[in-house]
């Protein structure tokens, strides 16, 4: 789930904002855009977005009906518009029919079902369904993506443009390119795997400080300490607080540490991927946050921290995620340094 706030103007403009909101250009996807009514101005504002792979959208919505319904009711989402991104009109028609049928889990009022082959400026879109009270046209073209509010905000927040696809984000999350020599990397991993937290608090504090220094001075030494910290909540949580206090630098360092974790260590890889999700959320990269959160649970479903991160994003509480994690980490840091 990704969240963004914007006044609804046209489907062409909503489509143009989707890449900036998700952080990537969705392909063969169903994007559900939820809106909140403002009775005073008689308008609706764009709220959370939910994206599904098109070929499994109907099945997933059917299987997760209760969870999806509870989520929409909890957030009091009044209206929804569906954007079907595909050039397969048969599949688009099947999805549109499902969303407008009694089998649909959507309790929000369906404003429209819109089809387009891809999200690029000037690409045509057409309405497969419009609410009887809608004044929107039956067809149009996608607005300029480069000037969309969501894209400008993403660039301002992160300095990056949306990925060309979800697969590009997943490739980034699966990367193990760490830039450390093979011998040193092997020693770092063996050191972290064998790490047993010492009894002396000053030694623990020094490990935390060496890891936190990686935000300003990235190094193999900092990555070594960070991996040790992530073996125990006593050090991991204070480090999470430090990363969130400098979210841009924290995000870059967390991604470096994640890439240093071999795929043969799924528990640690899941924790670092979830950490990247939290910091992506904190830096406004909501699309990356959602993909990373779910990738973390795919890597390992046994880890508590990744499950918590994914759950908060799934129920639409991504905006509170960084706050919740930082609060817990700050308390743990006080305990680490208290006399």
pLDDT value, residue 44: 66
Domain assignment present for residue 3? The answer is no
Query: Are both 85 and 200 inside the same structural domain?
Result: no
Residue range(s) defining the domain that contains residue 219: 170-337
Among candidate residues 132, 162, 192, the one where a domain is terminated: 162
Strand-pairing partners, residue 259, are none
Domain count, the chain: 2
Domain-ending residue, one of 138, 162, 186: 162
**Among candidate residues 129, 162, 195, the one where a domain is terminated:** 162
In a domain, 2, yes or no: no
Q: Which residues in the chain land under pLDDT 50?
A: 1, 3-6, 8
4: in domain: no
* pLDDT value of position 173: 93
In a domain, 6, yes or no: no
| Same structural domain, 50 and 158 | yes
Q: Same domain, yes or no, for 16 and 137?
A: yes
Q: What is the pLDDT of residue 9?
A: 66
41 in helix, strand or coil? coil
Rounded to whole angstroms, the Cα distance separating 290 from 170 reads 11
| One domain, residues 222 and 305 | yes
pTM for the model: 0.71
Sheet with strand 109-116: strands edge to edge: 2-7, 43-53, 29-38, 79-85, 109-116, 124-130, 139-141
Q: Domain for residue 249, yes or no?
A: yes
In a domain, 5, yes or no: no
Q: Are residues 108 and 34 in the same domain?
A: yes
Residues 223 and 122 in one domain: no
Do 182 and 125 have their domain in common? Answer: no
Bridge partners (DSSP) listed for residue 116: 85, 125
Decide if 324 is inside a domain.
yes
130 and 178 inside one domain: no
Same domain, 61 and 181: no
Q: Are residues 186 and 328 in the same domain?
A: yes
Mean pLDDT of the chain: 87
Among residues 21, 16, 11, the alpha carbon closest in space to that of 287 is found at 21
Q: For residues 282 and 325, give the distance between their C-alpha atoms in angstroms, rounded to a whole number.
A: 11
- Give 3-state DSSP helix, strand, coil % of the chain, rounded to 5: 55, 15, 30
pLDDT the model gives residue 43:
62
Q: Is residue 186, in this structure, part of any structural domain at all?
A: yes
Same domain, 198 and 320: yes
> What pLDDT, on a 0 to 100 scale, did the predictor assign at position 5?
46
Residues 178 and 291 occupy one common structural domain: yes
Residues 6+ apart with CB under 8 A from 140: 10, 11, 12, 124, 125
């Amino acid at each position: 789930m990704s969240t963004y706030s914007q006044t609804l103007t046209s489907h062409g403009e909503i489509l143009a904002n989707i890449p900036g909101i998700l952080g990537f250009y969705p392909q063969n996807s169903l994007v559900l855009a939820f809106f909140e009514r403002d009775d005073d101005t008689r308008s609706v504002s764009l709220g959370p977005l939910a994206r599904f792979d098109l070929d499994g959208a109907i099945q997933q919505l059917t299987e997760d009906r209760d969870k999806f319904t509870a989520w929409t009711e909890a957030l009091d989402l009044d209206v929804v518009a569906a954007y079907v991104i595909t050039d397969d009109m048969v599949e688009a028609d099947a999805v549109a029919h499902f969303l407008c049928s009694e089998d649909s889990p959507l309790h929000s009022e369906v404003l429209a079902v819109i089809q387009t082959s891809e999200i690029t400026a000037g690409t045509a879109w057409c309405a497969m369904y419009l609410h009887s009270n809608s004044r929107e046209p039956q067809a149009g073209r996608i607005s300029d993506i480069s000037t969309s509010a969501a894209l400008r905000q993403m660039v301002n927040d992160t300095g990056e443009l949306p990925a060309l696809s979800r697969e590009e984000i997943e490739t980034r999350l699966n990367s193990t390119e760490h830039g450390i020599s093979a011998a040193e990397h092997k020693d770092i991993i063996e050191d972290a795997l064998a790490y047993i937290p010492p009894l002396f608090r000053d030694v623990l504090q020094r490990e935390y400080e060496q890891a936190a220094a990686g935000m300003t001075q990235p190094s193999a030494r900092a990555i070594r300490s960070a991996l040790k910290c992530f073996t125990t909540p006593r050090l991991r949580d204070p480090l999470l607080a430090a990363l969130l206090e400098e979210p841009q630098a924290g995000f870059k360092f967390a991604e470096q540490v994640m890439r240093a974790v071999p795929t043969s260590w799924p528990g640690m890889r899941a924790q670092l991927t979830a950490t990247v999700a939290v910091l992506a959320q904190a830096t406004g990269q909501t699309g990356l946050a959602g993909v990373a959160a779910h990738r973390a649970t795919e890597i390992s479903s046994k880890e508590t921290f990744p499950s918590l991160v994914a759950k908060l994003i799934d129920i639409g509480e991504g905006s509170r995620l960084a706050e919740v994690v930082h609060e817990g980490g700050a308390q743990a840091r006080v305990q680490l340094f208290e006399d």
